Amino acid sequence: MPAPAELHSPTSTATTHVRRATGDDLDALVALEQATFSLDRMSERQWRRHLDSASAEVLVAVRERRLLGAAVVFYRRGGDIARLYSIAVAASERGAGTGAFLLAAVERAARQRGCKRLRLEVRADNTAAQRLYERAGYRLFGLHRAYYEDGTDAQRYEKSW
């Protein structure tokens, strides 16, 4: 579990916290997924499986009991590479630092599990996400052709520490 962290809202005195998700977050996670992605969505069943998995970690950014974002990271037993499977931020929070805050929490969680690198895929047409990862020190190292459901390519990024 990542170390406690806080992000102060630019529009209020409220503080955002990142914590590990629980079953109580399931409905909000599914709603965020539906609102964020038009394709390649995780089902409620998949979310439930990730919440209960020893090889996955679901982190959520919350403010005043409202879920603002979520990230799913996968681990392999004995492996030193973590994989960021998904990161989603509520539309109202985009551009406010919530994505970077969640990404930093994922990195802390991966380091605490003994991982030395974090890898991810991002849609080739998602320049906002690419900028987020590049600002955080990720380097582009490959491409998956026609990776997504609609045939869009995925750019592969990695960060080592």
CATH number at residue 96: 3.40.630.30
Instruction: Give this prediction's pTM.
Output: 0.89
Does residue 140 fall inside a structural domain? no
3-state secondary structure of 8: strand
What is the pLDDT at residue 4?
46
Which ranges of the chain does DSSP label H, i.e. alpha helix?
A: 26-36, 44-52, 98-112, 127-135
- pLDDT tens digits, one per residue of 20-29: 999 999 999 9
3-state secondary structure of 75: coil
Does residue 98 fall inside a structural domain? yes
Residues of the domain holding 24: 6-121
Which of these, 76, 115, 116, 120, lies nearest to 102 by C-alpha position? 120
CB atoms within 10 A of CB 80: 13
What is the pLDDT at residue 95?
86
Domain count, the chain: 1
Does residue 95 fall inside a structural domain? yes
Which segments of the chain have a pLDDT < 70?
1-13
